[in-house]
């Protein structure tokens, strides 16, 4: 049954609509105390204090590590007992989505731990001689102990579409603990280090072909971890990732005797005439589950896409990245009101199931042109990409060019390091908008950070694919998107669960060699095989991916109207991030041209402007 969804509720704009995030304070003379957090836990034993907020998976396994019976213990108590036996060595054993702080008074050590995949945020800020810790930057600011100064260089990097540091936020006084990392404060000395590693380090780390059958079990367990929370709503698109989640979730819910999941779908117009909405409806019908469907036109009519996104951005702790968020948030809230405790999506499938096009560089480096052709064929059969564009990307943009740049960099670094530095500076300055950061000091800082980022060691020659995997774990943009997802979940009142971002599944998938991920000369072959086995009636083994990003309505009238109503970039200009007259000229020319490569800059300017005005 397909159910039409009504307009977006006002709770989207309220910061107090969901549970309060964890907020804790540590001070040398007072230790660790819990200040806020509706679902947070604090426990103390034998000179150790633990604050825990989130979910633990496989508690019985951790209980065996701790040598206790887990049934009578809270999550915080279980972590504390395990820590008393294994100290920091227990951290890689923790499975779940959480924010964790451990104060070990015996060793004068504070450990602030973010879960392996970074699905729950962890921010910190200094407060006198102590430290404030929270899953929310706004919770830290609301204490009145953290200076509310925006990080101008990070905002400028946002407009440059480059992010150079993984621990910085949009506030100068607030830092993040990256995914899979620990902030350690020991005897007054701070140190941030990774406690969990996923990408393969050597040939021995790769999954063998005989181990591909493990995928089904690991994936099923990842989905069931979401079902353990309660009834599921599934964000169902027409892609393999969400279809695989919906299929396994439905089958496992029925096997467990749980209520069927509810499919949540947004129908995008398809300029190529391929019926994505028909796929969505067909999958829900074949699985026998109810479906709520809202069209993009309905979403625009009731809560226009761009104005709605800008209004939501004002209320978010950081500028909005997902411009379709109002539509999805609306459906999440409606699903929660109807009894869905958890919302699952197929997010992460593109990162871990698919082979990044950068693998073409490795194939060229090793002279494997037969493998290169098969890779080309797999992409062509799996994605709607123009042939000319695909050939250019594989042979040049992500293929030969990175290899030539690597060789050139090595040569210049050896024989003419000064020329290499000058070249990097020229590239950075050329790629910086003339209207960006008129403040000379800020512009210099922006350039130096970009140059330093370009100077960092890149992937070894012929190892581009592994380097791409590592960036998927560490890139600041990934952190921003996951933190935004956490905030949307908090506002909706339903927990969001991303099976493909499950740490055990990601650990497995990033070790599957590209050739095995593309078996049968099709991308995401593991998901195709799973669906052919579990739900052959869906007939999606040969499906080509539909990319909804191509359907962004360019709606220049909305953008022009929003720009006029704002009166230009007043806040951005006041902060010295843009030169106002130059930006106005750039926006006017871009709007006159209509669709174009620069259109997204207008959305970014509008987005940052409305967000910044609420905070200056």
**Paired tokens of 110:** 């504070």
Q: How far apart are CA 526 and CA 549, in angstroms?
A: 24
Strand partners, 112: 101, 183
pLDDT of 220 higher than 60: yes
**Paired tokens of 473:** 């774990």
What confidence score (pLDDT) does residue 459 get? 76
User: What sign results for the dihedral spanned by CA atoms 10, 12, 13, 16?
Assistant: positive
pLDDT of 560 higher than 90: no
What confidence score (pLDDT) does residue 304 get? 66
What confidence score (pLDDT) does residue 330 get? 81
Q: Which has the minimum average pLDDT: 289-298, 419-428, 482-491?
A: 289-298
Instruction: Give the distance, in angstroms, between the CA of residue 257 and the centroid of all CA atoms in the same chain.
Output: 32
pLDDT interval class at 3 (50, 70, 90): very low
- Pick the more confident residue, 168 or 19: 168
Segment holding 454, helix H or strand E: helix 440-455
What is the Cα gyration radius of the chain?
Answer: 25
Task: Give the mean pLDDT of 589-615.
Answer: 84
Per-residue three-class SS string for 517-539: HCHHHCCCHHHHHHHHHHCHHHC
pLDDT digits (tens, 9 = 90+) for 304-317: 678 888 999 999 99
pLDDT of 549 higher than 80: no
What confidence score (pLDDT) does residue 308 get? 85
pLDDT of 16 higher than 80: no
What confidence score (pLDDT) does residue 474 get? 87
What confidence score (pLDDT) does residue 2 get? 44
What confidence score (pLDDT) does residue 7 get? 43
pLDDT interval class at 561 (50, 70, 90): confident
pLDDT interval class at 4 (50, 70, 90): very low
Share of the chain above pLDDT 90, in %: 75
pLDDT digits (tens, 9 = 90+) for 43-56: 999 999 999 999 99
Q: How far apart are CA 228 and CA 342, in angstroms?
A: 9
The answer to whether the beta carbons of residues 402 and 361 sit under 8 Å apart is yes
What confidence score (pLDDT) does residue 5 get? 39
pLDDT interval class at 298 (50, 70, 90): low
Q: Report the 10 Å Cβ neighbour count for 440.
A: 9
pLDDT of 6 higher than 80: no
pLDDT of 547 higher than 60: no
Q: How far apart are CA 470 and CA 455, in angstroms?
A: 17
Question: Which has the closest alpha carbon to 290: 262, 267, 253, 266?
Answer: 262
Task: Give the mean pLDDT of 475-482.
Answer: 94
Look at residue 201 and give its three-state secondary structure. coil
pLDDT interval class at 267 (50, 70, 90): confident
pLDDT interval class at 353 (50, 70, 90): very high
pLDDT of 355 higher than 90: yes
pLDDT interval class at 253 (50, 70, 90): very high
- Pick the more confident residue, 391 or 552: 391
All domains of the chain in start order, with CATH: 10-194 (3.60.20.10), 208-352+497-551 (3.40.50.620), 556-613 (no CATH)
**Paired tokens of 139:** 């919770």
Q: Which has the minimum average pLDDT: 121-135, 139-153, 274-288, 395-409?
A: 274-288
pLDDT digits (tens, 9 = 90+) for 53-100: 999 999 999 999 999 987 789 999 999 999 999 999 999 999 999 999
pLDDT interval class at 11 (50, 70, 90): very low
Q: Which of 404-408, 462-466, 500-504 has the highest mean pLDDT?
A: 500-504
Question: Which has the closest alpha carbon to 156: 596, 572, 615, 607?
Answer: 572
What confidence score (pLDDT) does residue 588 get? 87
Question: Which has the closest alpha carbon to 170: 200, 149, 184?
Answer: 149
DSSP string for 346-401: -TTHHHHTSPPTTHHHHHHHTT-HHHHHHHHHHHHHHB---HHHHHHIIIIIIIIH
pLDDT digits (tens, 9 = 90+) for 364-420: 999 999 999 999 999 999 998 899 999 999 999 999 999 999 999 999 999 999 999
What confidence score (pLDDT) does residue 33 get? 97
pLDDT of 169 higher than 60: yes
pTM for this model (two decimals): 0.94
Instruction: Give the distance, in angstroms, between the CA of residue 496 and the centroid of all CA atoms in the same chain.
Output: 12
What confidence score (pLDDT) does residue 318 get? 96
What phi and psi, each to the nearest 5 degrees, are found at residue 599? -60, -40
């Amino acid at each position: 049954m397909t159910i039409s969804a009504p307009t977006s509720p006002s709770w989207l704009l309220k910061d107090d609509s969901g549970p309060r995030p964890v907020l804790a304070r540590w001070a040398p003379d007072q230790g660790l105390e819990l200040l806020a957090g509706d679902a947070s836990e604090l426990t103390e034993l034998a000179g150790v204090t633990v604050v825990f907020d989130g979910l633990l998976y496989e508690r019985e396994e951790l209980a065996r590590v701790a040598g206790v019976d887990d049934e009578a213990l809270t999550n915080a108590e279980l972590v504390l007992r395990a820590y008393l036996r294994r100290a920091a060595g227990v951290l890689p054993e923790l499975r779940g989505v959480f924010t964790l702080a451990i104060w070990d008074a015996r060793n004068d050590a504070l450990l602030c731990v973010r879960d392996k995949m970074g699905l729950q945020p962890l921010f910190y800020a200094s407060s006198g001689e102590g430290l404030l810790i929270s899953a929310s930057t706004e919770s830290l600011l609301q204490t009145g102990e953290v200076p509310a100064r925006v990080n101008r260089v990070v905002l400028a990097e946002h407009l440059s579409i480059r992010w150079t540091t993984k621990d910085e936020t949009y506030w100068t006084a607030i830092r993040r603990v990256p995914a899979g990392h620990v902030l350690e404060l020991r005897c007054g000395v701070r140190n941030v280090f990774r406690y969990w590693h996923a990408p393969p380090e050597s040939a021995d780390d790769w999954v063998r072909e005989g181990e591909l059958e493990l995928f089904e079990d690991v994936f099923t367990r990842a989905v069931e971890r979401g079902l353990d929370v309660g009834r599921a709503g599934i964000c169902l698109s027409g892609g393999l990732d969400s279809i695989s989640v919906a299929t396994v979730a439905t089958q496992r819910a029925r096997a467990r005797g749980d209520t069927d999941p509810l499919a949540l779908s947004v129908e995008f117009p398809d300029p190529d005439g391929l019926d994505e909405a028909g796929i969505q409806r067909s999958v829900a019908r074949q699985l026998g589950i109810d479906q709520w469907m809202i069209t993009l036109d309905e979403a625009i009519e009731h809560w226009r896409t761009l104005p709605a996104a800008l209004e939501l951005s004002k209320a978010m702790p950081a500028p909005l990245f997902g411009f379709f968020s109002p539509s999805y948030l609306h459906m999440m809230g409606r699903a929660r009101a109807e009894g869905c405790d958890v919302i699952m999506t197929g997010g992460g499938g593109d990162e871990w199931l698919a082979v990044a096009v950068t693998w073409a560089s490795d194939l060229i480096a090793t002279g494997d042109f037969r493998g290169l052709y098969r890779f080309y064929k797999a992409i062509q059969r799996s994605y709607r990409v123009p042939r000319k564009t695909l050939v250019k990307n594989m042979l040049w943009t992500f293929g030969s060019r990175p290899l030539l740049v690597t060789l050139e960099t090595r040569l210049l670094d050896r024989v003419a390091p000064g020329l290499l530095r000058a070249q990097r500076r020229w590239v950075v300055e050329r790629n910086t908008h003339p209207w960006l950061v008129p403040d000379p000091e800020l512009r210099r800082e922006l350039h130096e950070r970009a140059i330093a980022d370009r100077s960092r060691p890149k992937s070894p020659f012929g190892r581009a694919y592994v380097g791409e995997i590592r960036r998927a774990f560490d890139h600041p943009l990934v952190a921003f998107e996951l933190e935004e997802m956490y905030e949307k979940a908090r506002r909706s009142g339903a927990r969001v669960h991303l099976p493909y971002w499950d740490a055990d599944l990601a650990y497995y998938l990033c070790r599957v060699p590209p050739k095995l991920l593309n078996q049968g000369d099709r991308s995401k072959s593991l998901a195709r095989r799973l669906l052919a086995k579990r739900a052959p009636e869906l007939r999606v083994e040969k499906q080509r991916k539909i990319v909804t990003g191509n359907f962004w309505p360019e709606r220049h009238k909305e953008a022009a109207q929003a720009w006029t109503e704002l009166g230009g970039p007043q806040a951005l200009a006041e902060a010295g991030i843009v030169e106002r007259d130059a930006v106005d000229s750039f926006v006017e020319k871009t709007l006159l041209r209509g669709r174009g490569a620069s259109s997204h800059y207008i959305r970014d300017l509008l987005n940052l402007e409305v967000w910044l005005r609420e905070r200056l």
